Amino acid sequence: MTNLAPLRRALLSVSDKTGLVDLAKALDARGVELLSTGGSAKTLRDAGVPVKDVAEVTGFPEMMDGRVKTLHPMVHGGLLALRDNDAHVGAMTEHGIGPIDLLVVNLYPFEETVAKGADYDTCIENIDIGGPAMIRAAAKNHAFVTTVVDVEDYDALLAELDANEGQTTLAFRQRHAQIAYARTGTYDAAVSSWMAGAIGEETPRRRVFAGTLAQPLRYGENPHQGASFYHDGSARPGVATAIQLQGKELSYNNINDTDAAFELVSEFLPRDGFACAIIKHANPCGVATGRTLKEAYQKAFDCDRTSAFGGIVALNSTLDGETAEAIAEIFTEVVIAPGAHQDAKDVFAKKKNLRLLTAPGLANTAEPGTAWKQVSGGILVQNRDNGRINLDDLKVVTKIAPTDEQMRDLLFAWTVAKHVKSNAIVYVKDGATVGVGAGQMSRLDSALIAAKKAERMAEALGLPEPLTKGSAVASDAFFPFADGLLEAAAAGASCVIQPGGSMRDDEVIKAADEAGLAMVLTGMRHFRH
């Protein structure tokens, strides 16, 4: 396999015309013959760049609305021929096929078309056929052919040619062949995933997951683990689509926790009031609503001040200076919000290591989607947990019914519990969490831990009693026994929300009645492992 390969003839055929003219002029100045198609050829010709239409080379005009233009031996023979194979060279000579040493192609904007909500037929017409075929052919023949599929690589190509007297090295061609195959793989993944959804295929025989590198990370969950962050191409507001305004580069754990925080705070729409979620290790250590953003933050912070140190703060409204001042009083890793006023930016500018992110709105937590995780030898795929309940869905099963005020806190607690690792117990009072128990092996332990945290915070805040007194409590899944429920009652809870569905529901309901609790069932659980 040869190292240096000369570049004498190039085929440029792109949907995204960014940088095309400058690239073509640079190649022309280096004596490279240029071939092109359709709109690309017109763009170059209009710019005064000498170019030959592929139709002149193939002897066939573009036809069928452009569906057929490059699918021809005069093109693919020029891309695939092995220059050191006598039979290949002989075939090229016999049939008048000229070698193509460089292919520059970017594909029809299929992903963008889908993202705009185009209809089925429009999406189909934006599936590129000739582009991927040429890319795969050129990349396969990287021993002799250079393939470029991304606009951001144009400068690297020209620098490579300058460094090697108009030639490319094997290492360069190999690297860009890999990039090329990743691009066609990503493209096919987007098409197949879209089509599965379009035809209602919930469990396609084959699934492909693809992404584009957003950033390499210093390490993963721990320093000995390599890591990187990829975008999946969706426009869902969150950490992947946010703009980082200041601070150090996000770490693996920062990204994971920020995602958890923003997904949680997005449950609370600004029209319903200000909301704040503080996350530590992907679990909420405080969530609250308030009349102001600062009040929401302070109530969330007062749930568990110890855990909030070094945490992630997510807000459902534009960050203001007053709230920023309050947040800046303790060490905070990341703050994410759908916008930030200049006075807030000025406050955080003094905290050089604090990362401030602004997202393009809140995530739509009712939106359907797909979630997946890797297990040994496979991938688990499920629908995103977009389940939600309202007042009409609740079933009162105790002798005492919740008051309107209690019902508001119950629904708030239920919303938060959805975002707490199972087994989840969440105590809420006056629109704020006052105790969170997460990730325990028994529901009883979660109830105990949450109550103990509330006791400690009452001491720290100088309160006469824990805020769990008179609180609403949510359990993400049913109580298998009455013990967890009774622990909540002992902590002072006055009402409970839980899915129900246990074979011991009657026993649990009886215990609630005996403890003087109001209890409602949702008929829906929110496990989060």
The set of catalytic residues is 140, 281
Q: Do residues 433 and 289 lie in contact, with contact meaning Cβ atoms separated by under 8 Å?
A: no
What residue ranges in 113-175 does DSSP mark as E strands? 146-148, 167-168
Q: In this structure, what token pair is assigned to residue 311? A: 């945490």
Q: What is the DSSP letter of 430?
A: S
| Cis status of the peptide bond prior to 423, with omega within 30 of 0 | yes
Nearest CA-CA partner of 137 in 172, 107, 103, 176: 103
Which CA distances in Å does 223 have to 226, 281, 306?
8, 16, 25
Q: Beta strands 425-428 and 395-396: pairing type?
A: unpaired
Nearest CA-CA partner of 358 in 272, 278, 258, 267: 258
Distance CA 257, CA 239 (A): 9
Q: In this structure, what token pair is assigned to residue 73? A: 């031996």
CA 336 to chain centre: 15
What size, in residues, is the chain? 529
Per-residue burial over 251-267, b = 16 or more CB atoms within 10 Å of its CB, e = otherwise: bbbbbbbbbbbbbbbbb
Q: Beta strands 212-217 and 9-14: pairing type?
A: unpaired
Distance CA 32, CA 7 (A): 7
Distance CA 250, CA 235 (A): 20
Q: Beta strands 33-36 and 52-53: pairing type?
A: parallel
Q: In this structure, what token pair is assigned to residue 407? A: 């019902």
Residues forming a β-bridge with 147: 103
Distance CA 395, CA 404 (A): 14
Mutual orientation of helices 154-163 and 20-29 as an angle, nearest 10°? 10
Distance CA 373, CA 330 (A): 34
